Amino acid sequence: MEKETFYITTAIDYVNGLPHIGHAYEKIATDVIARHFKQRGKDVFFLTGSDEHGIKIQKTAAENGIQPKEHCDNTSNEFKKAWKKADIDYDRYIRTTDADHEKVVQWAFEELLKKGDIYKSSYTGLYCAGCECFLSPRELDENGCCPIHQKKPEEVKEENYFFKLSKYKDAIAEHIKKNPNFILPQSRANEILNQLKDIEDISVSRSKESVSWSIDVPSDSEQGIYVWIDALTNYITGVGVLDDKEKFNKYWPCDVHVIGKDILKFHSIYWIAFLMALGIELPKSIFAHGWITIDETKMSKSLGNVISIDTLMQTFELQDADAIRYFLMTTASFGKDGNYSDEEFKSKVNADLANNLGNLLNRTLSMLVKYFDGKISNRTMDADLLKLCNETVSDVERKFDYYEVTEAIEKVITLVDAANKYVNDKAPWSLAKTDLNECEKVLYSVLEVMKYASVLLYPVIPNIAQKIYTQLGFEGEIKGIKLADLKTLTIKEGQIATKDTISPVFLRLDSEIAKDKKK
């Protein structure tokens, strides 16, 4: 039987820096997916959070003259504030410094130690602080640098605990091959299968002398549990693996881990091996998205091109983050790299949200007021448009089944385009002079399309969707409307609009009307 619950997670953000739109891209996409599955009647649990241990945080805190925990408290609060502005509706924000998580980390480590999957050994290796893992010479570029962070790794020699990752590589490879939707987009599976061929055991602790800011190994006070057992187990802590078995059994296995492509290896190899070793069921899917560049350049503190949600909202004087959410979800197919520029942002949101979606609603309601005093009596829907509405709902669901967020949005915009063409072809302004009954049918049909579009786009642009929903004469919150309700949710007879209730649902950026409103 199909699971009635839906458990979705983001990667947890490392709190060594402040949140930017690269972080926001992942959180918004995950939020969109979570909201969509709620619309399908699923009991959704959405987990996000922050990764708060490690050498970089230890050093940054020391440089600022504060304790690591204080640094983590301050920065994680900045992430929470950013996600509130971006309308991220998560169920839990987990921190790896949370007491229940530290308990799970120590439990997992000791379980693996008991089973013989963790052992102690002296080791000399090349350690990349950015990746927070040891790299083999084969993984470095031609200059001997980490290909992601473009820095030479440090040679480290110490006695650590190691996890027998190599023991599980064949089982992981078999699982990937047998489950084509385990790694999404599917094109990334071969990359992981190739990495598995050369996989070696990995260090899962560091000497407390080297890294003091870590969770202690319970049976060895000189060692701290480091990074991947600490970070990755947040996904089972979040649904109560030790403290709430009923909740864990309800939501686990995770339906999808949404992560950046740069950490796919750790999720599809390390995490899967840990779960296999612990005897815990594997997640259904891992979706690796691309990066957001700024003017075709990767974001970098040194280049000074790091942009935050807050910066964009202030720059464009946005009341909410809908335009940002929409742009980030449509700038590139989810899974591929996208790009942000001010001009692309303005052009995209003006075209789709103001000109296409907003203008269609505004002119249709205006004609309803002009010709029918804002009242509807003839609720006859154009058969072709109704068919397209129902097909669009099915298409959107199919796209979300594979987390193809961008393509799902495109399906809805195609529906809106069809409604715009329908208005232009039918010319209700002419019909008002010759056939009022047909004119009303045209206007009603377009408003019905707007009903479908508002509900289908709600996960992406929740505030604009609510404005459309309200202007269509519906009461209450669009948030509670399920996709299954669309066929029976009808625009009421009688007055739904007046001249005073019609207003733009999205003001064009840099438009004269927007400037007037600012004044």
Active site residues: 20, 23, 128, 131, 146, 149, 298, 301
300 — phi, psi (to 5°)? -155, 135
CA distances, 472 to each of 360, 455, 508 (Å):
12, 12, 21
Distance CA 204, CA 29 (A): 31
Q: Apex CA 46: angle with CA 237 and CA 81, to 5°?
A: 100
Which amino acid belongs to residue 457?
L
Rounded distance between C-alpha atoms, residue 252 and residue 296, angstroms: 39
Please say whether the beta carbons of 329 and 458 come within 8 A: no
- The encoded tokens of residue 440 equal 């009303």
Question: Residue 145: exposed, middle, or buried by beta-carbon count in 10 A (0-12, 13-18, 19+)?
Answer: middle
403 phi and psi angles, rounded to 5 deg: 60, 35
Separation CA 47–CA 83 (nearest Å)? 12
The residue type found at 113 is: L
User: How far is CA 401 from its chain centroid?
Assistant: 15
Secondary structure (H, E, C), 447-488: HHHHHHHHHHHCCCCHHHHHHHHHHCCCCCCHHHCCHHHCCC
Token code pair at residue 173: 């490879």
Q: Which H or E run contains 155?
A: strand 154-163
> What residues contact residue 363 under an 8 Å CB cut-off, 6+ apart?
423
* 136 and 200 Cβ atoms separated by less than 8 Å: yes
Q: Tell me the C-alpha distance between 189 and 157, whole Å.
A: 33
Burial 433-471 (b: 16+ CB within 10 A, else e): eeeeeebbbbbbbbbbbbbbbbbbbbbbbbbbbbbbbbb
Comparing CA positions, the residue from 366, 461, 379 lying closest to residue 423 is 366
Gyration radius from the chain CA atoms: 26
C-alpha to C-alpha distance for 146 and 128, rounded to whole angstroms = 7
Does residue 329 contact residue 349 with C-beta atoms inside 8 Å? no
Task: In whole angstroms, give the CA distance from residue 31 to residue 9.
Answer: 9
340: β partners: 294
Angle between helices 68-85 and 55-63 (to 10 degrees): 100
Residue 508's φ and ψ, nearest 5 degrees, are -55, 135
The tally of CA atoms less than 13 A away on the side-chain side of residue 149 is: 15
